[in-house]
Chain A
């Protein structure tokens, strides 16, 4: 047996890692116990209709573990399987985990990596998003913290972006992207002049981790490695999670103020300039330490909601 509360020494890029590698590197070494593992073959009942391949865990890994000795529940999406999309089973596993967290009083870590609802099972997927949001709200109202970690290849889009908005704390890396409509969706609906999805700099400037951190769409900004995510998650578990009417009203006011302040901005760099960030045009190229220094006292902060 491993010693209690010890980190895996493995250093790996969160962006490059698989969902299982992320879980193993995030929690205390050897502490993860999976629920409804791949051997149970709890797979999508819909993909077969379309003659599409299934995955044994439906792209969602759930279980319990310890994080520096503290009991937590963990969910991780595999972004490479159908874009980490929410289908019926995928969503039900997360809903069940959140309800268990409510009953047990354990905090939850959600490792997002998703393009949103799985189109082949869209009704079930949309329902799952609704159920998950409700389960998060009920768990948080009972004092459970729900911490989102975002830095995967698929980003956190669609219904995943909505779910992320209901978390207590969001930890994001530069590679992480948070939005509802993704770049291709915007381009398809509004045209390439509105948003060029192949302009990677534009995508990251508009939806990437640095921008979300600056406007209060994420709470903690970390380097792209598992150790940084682990340390940030440990710190977030120590925060006092607040969730009541006062918090939500404060957040509503902040969002109204944000819209007044930045509503006319044509580009994220304009917003960074209005925030008073030194050298706004340089933000995308800044290393983490330098970025955090320039963001301090200038960035908007969220009120346990966003």
Chain B
């Protein structure tokens, strides 16, 4: 298992008030993303556990793109990866921030 950690500055803080959100599933070609609103405004951390070794540069590119485009500030993001491709990772990250922005039930 390769563990990757990214600590980023996010230009936009996550919207909404939900404390956490989870999307996806750990299955082949898929991943789960857990988002927790626990950090100061513009901080964002992404912790990744993946069985596919040696793709650190690709993860860094996808995560960097995500933080630049979406409102990811104040989020601690944790990922369990089942060998997802970059497009699936980007999709799940986008779903995650969308879900944590939703009004609380």
Contacts and interface: CB of A to CB of B under 8 A. Distances in A.
Interface in B1-53: 1, 20, 22, 25-27, 30, 32, 34, 36, 49-51
Interface stretch (A49-57, A225-233, A270-278): A49-57
Nearest to A18: B25
Contact of B49 (A29, A30, A53, A81): A53
B74 interface: no
A63 interface: no
Interface string A89-105: 00000000000000000
Scoring A2, A20, A39 by chain B CB atoms within 10 A of each residue's CB, the highest score goes to: A39
B105 A55 contact: no
B30 A80 contact: yes
Contact of A81 (B22, B25, B81): B25
Contacts of A53: 1, 26, 49-51, 80-82
A48 interface: yes
A80 B25 contact: yes
B105 A54 contact: no
A56 B80 contact: yes
A38 interface: yes
A56 B34 contact: yes
A295 B78 CA distance: 50
B105 A30 contact: yes
A81 B26 contact: yes
A39 B20 contact: yes
B22 A56 contact: yes
Nearest to B30: A80
Contact of B22 (A1, A2, A38, A48): A38
A303 B105 CA distance: 40
Contacts of A48: 1
Interface string A1-37: 1100000000000000010100000000110000001
Contacts, number: 47
Interface residues of B, number: 18
Contacts of A54: 26, 49, 80
B14 to A, nearest CB: 16
Nearest to B28: A80
A55 B51 contact: no
A65 to B, nearest CB: 11
B51 A51 contact: yes
Interface string A137-165: 00000000000000000000000000000
Contacts of A37: 20
A78 interface: yes
Interface string A36-68: 011101000000100111111000000000000
Contacts of A52: 51
B1 A29 contact: no
B56 to A, nearest CB: 17
Interface in B43-70: 49-51
A77 to B, nearest CB: 12
Contacts of B26: 53-55, 81-82
B27 to A, nearest CB: 4
Contacts of B78: 41, 56
Interface of B: 1, 20, 22, 25-27, 30, 32, 34, 36, 49-51, 78, 80-82, 105
Given A52-B51, A55-B25, 13 more contacts: A30-B105, A38-B20, A39-B34, A41-B78, A48-B1, A53-B49, A53-B50, A53-B81, A55-B32, A56-B78, A80-B27, A80-B30, A82-B26
25 contacts: A29-B105, A37-B20, A38-B20, A39-B20, A39-B34, A39-B36, A41-B78, A48-B1, A51-B1, A53-B1, A53-B26, A53-B51, A53-B80, A54-B49, A54-B80, A55-B25, A55-B26, A55-B80, A56-B78, A56-B80, A78-B25, A80-B25, A80-B27, A80-B30, A81-B26
